[in-house]
Amino acid sequence: MTTDHLPVQPPVRPMLAKSVASVPAQSGSDDAPAYVYEPKWDGFRAIVYRDGDEVRIDSRNAKPMDRYFPDVVAAVREALPERCVVDGEIVIARAPEGGAAHLDFDLLSQRIHPAASRVTMLAETTPAALVVFDVLALGGDSLMERPLTERLEALDGLGLTGPLVFATPRTLDATVAAEWFASFEGAGLDGVVAKPADGPYAPNKRAMLKIKHARTADVVLAGYRLHKTSTPEQPLLGSLLLGLWDDAAPAPRLQFVGVAASFSAGRRAELVAELAPLVVEPGTPEADAHPWHGWADPAAGEPNDRLPGAQSRWSAGKDLSFTPLRPERVLEVGYDHMEGSRFRHTAQFKRWRPDREPASCTYEQLEEPVRFDLGELLPGAPGTA
C-alpha cells in the first residue's frame, strides 16, 4: 500500500517498556501528573496506518500484518479517521460456556497462517479487535513530538468505543492502577503500564514502565537436549536451550541463560518432530556459524560468554552435548529470578511468540531486582561490610 499523504511514514517501531516491581507512585501536580496508567494488553502490538481506503498494520518488528487480520482492516476503515497513524494492540477475546470473557493469545496466534482461506475462516469465526492507546498522526499533523497528554486528547476525540476498535481505559490515580493490577488479571491482561505524561513518542525506546503479575521473558531457542529415556526409535526432547542477546559486548552475542524442561512424554516426542526443520547438521558451514558452536572448548568465546556446556560440580560426568537449532524461534518463559546473567532455576515454557524477532530478545527486557543490603540480615558476615 501507499501512505504518501501521511505525515508519519512506515516503518515506525513502537515505544517499549521496562519492567519494574510495582506501580510507581504518582508525583507532580494534578495539572501536571508524572504518569498515565493503562492496563497492559496481551495481544499483538500493532502500528496502524490509514490513508483513505489504504490500511497497513505493522507488527512490533515493523512487518506488515494486515493479511492476517482482514477483520481489523475493515474495522479500521469504519472507525478511524481517513488519515491517521495509531499505536495499539490486536486482541481476541473468548467467553467459555458459563464463564467470563478473557483474552485468548492462543487463538490470536492461529492467525499467523500461510493459507489465506484459513485466515479468512478464523476472521469470521473468531474476529479480532484493536485496542488503541496512542495517536502518532492525525490528518496532516504528526503528533509524535507532542507530550502524551496532548496525544491522548486527540485519542479521546476519536470516540473509539467499539465494537471492534476501542480506546484503552486509563487513569491518573496510582491507587486505581494498583486495583486494576489486582483485578484485571482474571480477564487475561498482563498487568499495568505507566507512561510519562509529558513524554514524546519514542520509537523503539524503553520509555515506559510495565508491571506484570509474574516475571516472564522472551528468549531465543537455539538448541535442545534429549531426555534420558529417549531412544533412537523414539527420540524425546529433554530440555529447550534458551538464549538472550547481549548487546553490551563488543559484538552482540547470544548468551545461554537456562533451559525449559517440563513437558509431558507426548509433548516431548512432538517437539522433536516440530523442531526438526531447524536442526543444524554437524560439519556444515551453518554449524560453524551457530552462536554456541564452540561449547565443548573451555577456551572458546570471550571470557564472559555463557555457553550451554559449562562444567560445574553439578554437571561433572554428565553428557552436555545438544542438538543445535537455527536461532530463529522465540518463546516466552516464566522465571522466578536471575542469578547473574542466567535464570536461577529451570524456566517454565509459556508459549511460542511468532510475533517476536530473535534479535529483540535482549537482557534489557528483564526486570531489575530490587536491591537489598544482605548486611541488614547478616550483620558482620564476610563480604557484607
Active site residues: 40
Determine the residue type at 144.
Answer: M
Report the C-alpha gap between 308 and 302 in whole angstroms: 14
Among 271, 212, 262, 279, CA closest to 236: 271
Determine the residue type at 198.
Answer: D
Residue 235 grid coordinates: 527420540
Report the C-alpha gap between 40 and 331 in whole angstroms: 19
The Cα diameter of the chain in Å comes to: 71
255 within 8 A of 356, measured Cβ to Cβ: no
Among 222, 262, 244, CA closest to 349: 262
Q: 3-state class of 146 per DSSP?
A: coil
In sequence order, the β-bridge partners of residue 255 are 244
Report the C-alpha gap between 382 and 241 in whole angstroms: 35
CA 108 vs. chain centroid, Å, equals 14
80 within 8 A of 73, measured Cβ to Cβ: no
DSSP string covering 261-327, please? Answer: ----HHHHHHHHHHHGGGBPPTTSHHHHTSTTTTTT-TT-S-TT---TT---TTTTT-----EEEEE
CA-to-CA separations, 166 to 43, 66, 91, 188, in angstroms, rounded: 14, 18, 11, 17
* Number of residues that make up the chain: 385
Report the C-alpha gap between 278 and 341 in whole angstroms: 26
**Exposure of 311 in the CB half-sphere (CA atoms within 13 A):** 8
Report the C-alpha gap between 224 and 248 in whole angstroms: 26
Report the C-alpha gap between 111 and 115 in whole angstroms: 10
